[in-house]
Chains A and B, each alone.
Chain A
Amino acid sequence: MKIVVCIKQVPATAAEKRYTSDLRLDRSASENVINPLDEYAVEQALRLQESGAVENVSYLSMGPAQAGEALRRAMAMGGDDAFLVTDDALAGADEWATARVLAAALDKLAPDVSLMGMASDDARGSLVPGAVAAIRGLPLLSYASELRLEGNTARIRRLNASGFDIIEAPLPVVASVTDQVGEPRYASLKGIMAARRKTLETWSLADLGLSAAGVQGGALTRVVEARAPEAKPPTERIENVGADEAVTKIADWLAARKLI
């Protein structure tokens, strides 16, 4: 049994985001990390490997060369090897182009489970898992709070408004996980040292039998504008008053907005 975890390198959540002149996120300007939601996919895969349900955990990323750092970090958490699809022609790829590239790479790696986080922390499109499943013609088990593998079946638990659904599908599948699968582990020092000896293979579009025109020509979206959210009005502070007066003021404030 083999899992490939797809991970994306994103700017750190708290980092100031800057855009290039053609409205792409400037990834050189900030500290980059593994997409925090992808870390849950890594954790889920490693737990399955530790339980013996999975023999092999690989990582796959599409991005600039520096995305190799994210793959190294994932390998420091555990797992076996990593693959990076990097090609100048991929700069500015939208979700659809990304999904086509990942799908081609996953076809080549042929895992039983292609595992992803439920969204990326930068774009938050949540489109790639579904798109990859559609392109590859595989079942999609999305928003899993738990993934189990039994025999030839993948089974997930998905929270809904009143409880949870249990959904299963025959392998191979594409699955995405939420932050309910368990806290991602920190890389241990021995894990970091071991990761330096694990293989990180780099593929170009040509290695996947894809052409730049074929991938980017298939882009379905275009960024027309990027701007910072409007500043919120300053926080109202109630200070240096007695508790009773403070309570009254807060209650009045809430009542004025019909919140109580």
Chain B
Amino acid sequence: MTYRLTPEHEELRAVVRELAEERIAPRAAQIDESREFPWDLKELLAKQDLLGAGLPEQYGGTGLDGISQAILVEEIARADATTSLIPMVQNLGALPIVLAGNEDQKERYFPRLASGEWLIAFGLTEAAAGSDVASNRMRARLEGDCYRLTGSKRFITHGSIANVLTVFALTDPDAGGRKGMSAFIVEADTPGFSAPRVEHKMGIRGSPTAELNFDEVQVPIANRIGEEGQGFKIAMATLDQSRLGVAAQAVGIAQGALDAAVAYAADRQQFGQRVVDFEGIQFMLADMASRTEAARQLTYAACAAVDAKVADLPYWTSAAKLIAGDTAMAVTTDAVQVLGGYGYISEYPVERMMRDAKITQLYEGTQQIQRVVIARQLLLRAGIGSRSKASAGPGAGS
């Protein structure tokens, strides 16, 4: 997969980095401590047109290419992982409509999502259906010109603050999750919809992860995405692309931790010299930088694969997410080590980054699920194909 970073990419990076360093980074510790969604930063990102990056220009978006979208998320995540979820989830929630929605749905929802007036969330995961998406149980029963949705979702990022959600429910329970699931657009003010609880989490604490209840929630047929029974396919196609957001977020977290570690090591004196002058520290920083760069370049290559609509897209995006997530975890862990005791306390940002990094190994498909996807692509390439019944799903949280 070939790609080239253009002057436009570098310009975007410079602009978003300036915004992130000046306005987002100073808020990061407070967001983590208070566990409150940063509404001010959501408004800021909206004002700078950064919430419609994945939406076409004709609907008010900016229609950025894949690498630009990755740079946008990466630079925000370098400052604060919670805030990077705002554009990420705006993209994730809208992707089912981008991929399978009709013109009417795009016209009704995209302008409000692109402007940031509305937030969207992606409602797929259930308490008993994480990696195993096909075992979803939520029902959608057609009555007259409306579906009635009943059941519950769990681990839904922004589920409690979104104005609208893309939700997956069984229209044909007998056919099972793979054939009997359909996708819907649900507005959050519809009677019967509630978000009774948000989770207490290790990281990305300012980003509400909600449990959702659906009690006979009426959804007009006009809000079904695609045909009945296409839900599983739409969900998988969405995740095949959206996991690049997680990869970009992971690269950004790693870069933020690396930058903090280098700055600290250059300043800290022990045994009469700068800590960075010890070879043991230099080797750690060199490994952290090399791994981060490798994850970044694989992520960009996967972005180019999305833009090129390659047949083996899941191979690229899962490989990028796998490598980037593991890199974020390893690099942030090492960053804490470089800072020593100071790395372990909240006076410095790296312990927060380490806690934030963990989620990139879990959501939108655990690292184990990514390996399943990659292995399946390998078998397809070898002409063997896969008869595995195990569904490749998103894993906890979406």
User: Which A residues contact B (CB, under 8 angstroms)?
Assistant: 69, 72-73, 76, 186-193, 196
Contacts and interface: CB of A to CB of B under 8 A. Distances in A.
A81 B351 CA distance: 46
A146 to B, nearest CB: 23
- The 4 A-B residue pairs whose C-beta atoms are closest, nearest first, are A189-B49, A190-B49, A188-B49, A188-B48
A192 B11 contact: yes
A186 B15 contact: yes
Interface string B47-77: 1111001000000001010000000000000
B13 to A, nearest CB: 11
Contacts of B11: 69, 72-73, 76, 192
A191 B12 CA distance: 11
Interface residues of B, number: 13
B307 interface: no
Contacts of B15: 73, 76, 186-187, 189, 192
B8 interface: yes
A16 B12 CA distance: 24
Q: Which of A187, A189, A192, A196 has the most CB of B within 10 A?
A: A189
Nearest to A189: B49
B50 A189 contact: yes
A146 B150 CA distance: 59
Nearest to B72: A189
A196 B49 CA distance: 16
A193 B62 contact: yes
A189 B47 contact: no
Nearest to A196: B8
B18 A186 contact: yes
A189 B8 contact: no
A76 B53 CA distance: 17
A27 B11 CA distance: 18
Interface string B28-53: 00000000000000000001111001
A72 B62 CA distance: 18
A209 B257 CA distance: 54
Contacts of B12: 189, 192
B19 interface: yes
A85 B241 CA distance: 45
Contacts of A73: 11, 15
Given A72-B11, A196-B8, A189 B62 contact: yes
A72 B15 CA distance: 12
17 contacts: A69-B11, A72-B11, A73-B15, A76-B15, A186-B18, A187-B48, A188-B47, A188-B48, A188-B49, A189-B49, A189-B62, A189-B64, A190-B62, A192-B11, A192-B12, A192-B15, A196-B8
A186 B48 contact: yes
Interface string B160-173: 00000000000000
A187 B22 CA distance: 13
A188 B19 CA distance: 10
Contacts of A189: 12, 15, 48-50, 53, 62, 64
Given A187-B15, A188-B49, 17 more contacts: A69-B11, A76-B15, A186-B15, A186-B18, A186-B19, A188-B47, A188-B48, A189-B12, A189-B15, A189-B49, A189-B50, A189-B64, A191-B49, A192-B11, A192-B12, A192-B15, A193-B62
A211 B349 CA distance: 55
A69 B12 CA distance: 12
Interface in B125-156: none
Contacts of A72: 11
Contacts of A190: 49, 62
Q: Which of B12, B47, B49 has the most CB of A within 10 A?
A: B49
Nearest to A69: B11
Contacts of B64: 189
A188 B53 CA distance: 12
A193 to B, nearest CB: 7
A190 to B, nearest CB: 5
Interface in B1-37: 8, 11-12, 15, 18-19
Nearest to A195: B11
A190 B116 CA distance: 14
B255 to A, nearest CB: 17
B50 to A, nearest CB: 6
Contacts of A76: 11, 15
A189 B8 CA distance: 11
Contacts of B53: 189
Nearest to B52: A189
B22 to A, nearest CB: 8
A133 to B, nearest CB: 32
A88 B139 CA distance: 72
Nearest to B50: A189
A192 B64 CA distance: 12
A69 B48 CA distance: 20
Nearest to B19: A186
Q: Which of A73, A188, A191, A196 has the most CB of B within 10 A?
A: A188
A76 B48 CA distance: 11
A186 B16 CA distance: 9
A118 to B, nearest CB: 21
A143 B47 CA distance: 30
A60 B53 CA distance: 31
A20 B15 CA distance: 29
B390 to A, nearest CB: 40
Contacts of B50: 189
Contacts of B47: 188
A73 B53 CA distance: 20
A73 B50 CA distance: 17
A117 B64 CA distance: 34
A189 to B, nearest CB: 4
